[in-house]
Amino acid sequence: METIRSETWIDAPIERCFLLSLSIDLHVASARSSREQAIEGVTTGLISEGETVTFRGRHLGLRLQHKSRIAVMRPYSYFRDVMVSGVFSHFEHDHHFAAMDDGTRMRDEIRFIPPLGKLGRIATKGLVRRHVAAFLTERNIGIKQVAESEDWHRYLDGQSVTVALAPAKEGWEPSSLMPRSQS
């Protein structure tokens, strides 16, 4: 299994960074090099836990489809998307967010098993691994640029995300997960 890690510092609140990472529209806009389109499942707005999206785009000269499901979500600190179907034998992407004094630290970890067995593992050592890392970098630059500008309103105003909450524990308030509306 191959692992790619990335860390991005963003001068914006953690909630904004988390929600922008769930934006299908921003994913499509920031994936210009592959001309990705959301073609099935959640195709616009914010994706939530348990929901799926299928993207189609050009990667390494091939027109590919990749269907992912948001398997776990802990607002505003973490979510994981896992491949349901696609070219890889296995693909999962962990998204971690931490509020810092000067903004948000966004950490990504992608774990994948390439297709085509041993031949795929050989290709992964170079081409596939570099391509996945470059795609992640392109996506994260897009999130950073939007989060640090006023463009974030275009992706988040009027949007909401459904959160599957764990059973309440004594002293735990579910409303603490969501931003308070300002009156």
Query: Which tens digits make up the pLDDT trace of 24-80?
Result: 999 999 998 889 999 999 999 999 999 999 999 998 888 899 999 999 999 999 999
Query: Per the domain annotation, does 81 fall within a domain?
Result: yes
Residue 121 lies in a domain: yes
Domain count, the chain: 1
pLDDT at 115: 78
Give the type of residue at 117.
Answer: G
Q: Is residue 168 part of a domain?
A: no
| Structural domain containing residue 59 | 2-160
Around Cβ 104, how many Cβ atoms within 10 Å?
22
pLDDT, one tens digit per residue, over 113-162 is: 887 777 766 766 678 889 999 999 999 999 999 999 999 999 998 877 66
Question: Any idea which residue has 């006023």 for tokens?
Answer: 150
Which residues are bridge partners to 91 per DSSP?
A: 112
Residue 22 in any domain: the answer is: yes
Q: What is the chain's Cα-based Rg?
A: 17
Return the minimum-mean-pLDDT range out of 4-8, 44-48, 119-123, 173-177.
173-177
The pLDDT assigned to 144 comes to 98
- Tell me if 12 is assigned to some domain: yes
Does some domain include residue 176?
no
| Residue 72: CATH number of its domain | 3.30.530.20
Q: Tell me which DSSP letter residue 168 carries.
A: P
Residue 165 lies in a domain: no
Answer yes or no: is 179 within a domain.
no
